[in-house]
Every structure is written in C-alpha cells, then in structure tokens.
Amino acid sequence: MRKRVSHARRTQDVLRPLFPSYLFVQLDPDSSWRPILSTRGVRTLVRCGERPSFIANEFIDSLKSREIEGAIVRPASPYCIGQHVRVVGGAFDGLVATIIEMDEKDRLVVLMNMLNRPVNVRLSSHHVAPV
C-alpha cells in the first residue's frame, strides 16, 4: 500500500506491505506443503492444527482488482472532514459530532459539544454513522 511518511520535514509516499512478514502461496490442499518450511526466510505457516490455513480465491481476487501501479488502493472512505455523524454505542451513543480529522487506520477525530464546550474525541469509524 502507499503510505504517506514524514521525516526531517519532508513528506513522501512510500510503498509498504499490506501484510508485513506474510507470503501467500497457492497450492493443492492435498499436496505436501512441508518443503515450504525449509525455504529460506520462512519461519512457519499459518495453520489450524496440523493443516495449513487457506484464504478464499475471491479474497485474493478482490485485492488484485484494487491494485493500481503496484499498490493496493484503499476503498474510498464513506466520511469526509466537516461531515456530521452520529455516535453509535458507548458512552457517547446518540450524540451528533463533526469530523475534523481522519487518519489511515479508520480512526476519526470528531468535535462534540459536551457541557457547553467543544471537545475533540478520537473514535473508530465503526462507532459512527452518517446523520
């Protein structure tokens, strides 16, 4: 994925792995997968008991379909800065807030009016809904 990195007052976009330290291998479930363990750099396989775990081909196909110029593009966010949202669940359930900041990890900073004062609160995007 492309990620914006700031260092020494410079900002640049760099490529970062979507799943760091993971390698996806396509193999027949009934074939011998143990030789993979002797491959240089492979520590272990993700397994359920003694059988390797498998990912549906549809998941891999959906990742490939979002690839542009060698990087996976994140889906468009359903929210934008300045949008009014309603908090869902938790202590602030039902309160209306305004999005003032968004980060890459689906977290939002919202501005709420609490006790007649504006308060910044950091929430997951899963804890808000459009008004």
State pTM to two decimals: 0.53
The topology (CATH level 3) of 84-130 is SH3 type barrels. (2.30.30)
Domain ranges of the chain: 2-72, 84-130
Asked if residues 102 and 79 have their Cβ atoms less than 8 Å apart, the reply is yes
CA quadruple 42, 43, 49, 54: dihedral sign: negative
Tokens of 130: 């459009």
Name the one residue in this structure whose structure tokens are 């690839």. Answer: 67
Q: What is the pLDDT of residues 1-38, one digit of tens each?
A: 888 788 888 888 888 888 888 888 888 878 888 888 89
Q: What is the pLDDT of residues 102-120, one digit of tens each?
A: 887 778 999 999 888 999 9
- The Cα–Cα gap between 51 and 91 comes to 43
